[in-house]
Each structure stands twice: as structure tokens, then as C-alpha cells.
Amino acid sequence: MVAPRRAPELASVAEAVLAVGGTCLDIVADALDPQAAAEVVASAVTTFGSVGIALLNAGQGPDISMDDVSTDHLSRIMALNYDVVVNYLNPLIRQMKSQPDGGLIAHTNSLAGLMGIPRHGPYSAARQRRVP
């Protein structure tokens, strides 16, 4: 299953998967929308019966200057890199905990989450993770 925002690109990914004999559920969904994320997870369960593995890959780290960026823009970058993960974590964890074999959630993070990167302040902040 693949769930990005751009329909044309999604269609070509789904075609490529089908062309090699795979199965691909393709849904256009904005990970910034928690309801859309929950519906994506529900659709995966309806189609495949469970969710074994989820890769949360959405994110972007634009080059910005803190001198001339608005607080709205900063908040937007935080959301583009933090909310997109949390919005999927909630329905995925609930679903996987209900499955006898659980599941695996992976997330494409960045070195920016381990160290501050110049001109990437909100991206680094949103990607900060602690390894337990």
C-alpha cells in the first residue's frame, strides 16, 4: 500500500508494482490529516486483513533563514516532519496491538534529528529522537 498526496505519481508507482506481479493498494492521502491517516490504515486492514509493516517516510527539510521566516512557516515545517509521523503512529499502534503477531513500524528519520544542522532549525527539532 502507498499513500502520498500526488495522484499521478502514485498511479505510476502502483502500475510499476502491478507490472512485476505485486499487489498495490494506492490511496491519495495527506499525512497532515489525522483522519486521512486513520482511513488509510483502515483501508489497508480491509484489503489485506492486517498491517504487518509500515514505513513512515513523509517529510521534508527546507533550507531556511531564521532571520526572515514567519512563525506560521516554522510551525508548518514542524508539522510536515512531526505530525505526519504521529498521525500514523496512533492508528497503526492500535491496529498492530490487536494483531496476534503485532507489527513493525519504521520511520525514515535524519541525522538532523541527532545533531543540529545549520539553516534546518525546525526540521532538526521535529526530527529529534532519543534512542532508548
Ligand X SMILES: NC(=O)c1ccc[n+]([C@@H]2O[C@H](COP(=O)([O-])OP(=O)(O)OC[C@H]3O[C@@H](n4cnc5c(N)ncnc54)[C@H](OP(=O)(O)O)[C@@H]3O)[C@@H](O)[C@H]2O)c1
Pairwise CA distance, residues 6 & 62, whole Å? 19
| Among residues 26, 40, 61, 92, the one that binds ligand X under rule CB under 6 A | 61
Q: Whose Cβ is closer to ligand X: residue 54's or residue 58's?
A: 58
For residue 51, give the DSSP letter. -
Provide the grid cell at 85.
509521523
| Among residues 40, 41, 110, 122, the one that binds ligand X under rule CB under 6 A | 110
Cβ atoms of 67 and 108 within 8 Å: the answer is no
Give the range of 4-12, 38-46, 70-78, 92-100 binding ligand X by CB under 6 A. 4-12
Phi, psi of 54 (to 5 degrees): -130, 130
The residues of the shown chain that bind ligand X, judged by CB under 6 A, are 4-6, 9, 30-32, 57-61, 84, 108, 110
